[in-house]
Amino acid sequence: MRFRSTYILVAVLLLIVAGIVGQRFREYRRLQALEQRKTQVAISDPSAVDGIEMKQKDYSVRLKKTGGEWYVASSNNFPADAAIIDRMLDDLSQVQVRSVAGNAKDLAALKLDPKQRIELTLSGGGKIIRAWWISRGDDQDGTSLLMDADSDAVFVVEPIPNDVFTRTDWRDKAIVRVPEQDIQEMKYRRGREQFTLARKDGAWLLDGKPANQQQASLLASNIANLNAVEFLPDDTAFTPLNIIIGLTLNDRQMELSLGKAPNDDEAYLKTGDGKMYLLANTNRARLDKTRKDFTP
């Protein structure tokens, strides 16, 4: 009877030891898997990404790439600012893992609050490339907490670009959106003064006579590369400066009206279709021209 009791006790102890060893081994394997996953967090090929979706508690945006061009899918397919997107994807390709923080079961302890997190999904070719939950970590050292949906692993990473955390206006702020050579004619009305710059046989003419080629080409380039600081509501109060530029492009005509805010000197621009933009004052100066600026 004593031997039987001893046998049972030893068997129980062996089971307990086996359970502990098994648990430790599983934890070791889990940590090994997480360590291996560390090297797979950053995206390896930013150019393969053709879809981006970001969700927060009260904000979401979808960006998609079609025919080589980025669009804001959540804003009626408005052209997106490719430079901002490319910069963000390049930053995400350089994300480095500082350490393994845990996994999904540790979310509460890690303070990865579901209400504060950002869900970032990157896709390409119809497949999800990365699906992350991200939360700011220690602001002092610039780290963030990132949970990889594929593995439920939580990592301490750096750096996550600010465009992920801020409500970036992803719309392309280019106003004219044409190459400089597509501008065929620029009709100026500046108060009572009127003049026309037209391209003929590769040269600029000022009211039918040779113009200052350098200044005319510079104006066309400034207009072609005109970017807004931000979009304004279409009904924004507008004080005209009596400077109106009528453009004849290869495929359409367009009108630009310069103005300013009613109570300060901020530069505004209104297009013929009623769109309003805030301009940098340097851009206003580049458009504020008179006939003598183009006289040889």
Q: Is the pTM of this model over 0.75?
A: no
What percentage of residues in the chain have a pLDDT greater than 90?
41
Residue 206 pairs in a beta bridge with 197, 209
- Would you state the pLDDT for residue 228? 92
Nearest to 188 by CA among 256, 250, 252: 256
Kindly list the domain boundaries of the chain, sorted by start residue.
46-165, 180-294
Cβ(49)–Cβ(124) below 8 Å: yes
Residue 15 pLDDT exceeds 80? no
Which tens digits make up the pLDDT trace of 171-186?
Answer: 999 999 889 999 999 9
Neighbours of 267 (CB within 10 A): 22
- Would you state the pLDDT for residue 39? 54
In the predicted model, what is the mean pLDDT of residues 215-230? 93
Neighbours of 85 (CB within 10 A): 20
- Would you state the pLDDT for residue 33? 55
Residue 194 pLDDT exceeds 80? yes
Which tens digits make up the pLDDT trace of 29-53?
Answer: 655 655 555 555 678 889 999 999 9
Residue 262 burial (10 A CB sphere; 0-12, 13-18, 19+)? exposed
- Would you state the pLDDT for residue 277? 93
In the predicted model, what is the mean pLDDT of residues 83-104? 83
Which tens digits make up the pLDDT trace of 122-178?
Answer: 999 989 988 888 876 655 556 777 877 776 777 788 778 777 878 888 999 999 988
User: What's the mean per-residue pLDDT of the chain?
Assistant: 83
Which residues fall within 8 angstroms of residue 95, CB to CB, at 6 or more apart? 41, 42, 146, 157, 158, 159, 160
**Bigger pLDDT: 161 vs 121:** 121
- Would you state the pLDDT for residue 146? 80
DSSP 171: B
Which tens digits make up the pLDDT trace of 242-278?
Answer: 899 999 999 899 999 998 888 788 889 999 888 899 9
Sheet hosting strand 153-158, strand order edge to edge: 78-79, 69-72, 59-66, 51-56, 118-124, 127-136, 144-148, 153-158, 96-103
Angle (CA) 103-144-97 rounded to 5° is 70
pLDDT band for position 204 (50/70/90)? very high
**Bigger pLDDT: 11 vs 124:** 124
Rounded to the nearest 5 percent, the helix, strand and coil shares of the chain are: 30, 40, 30
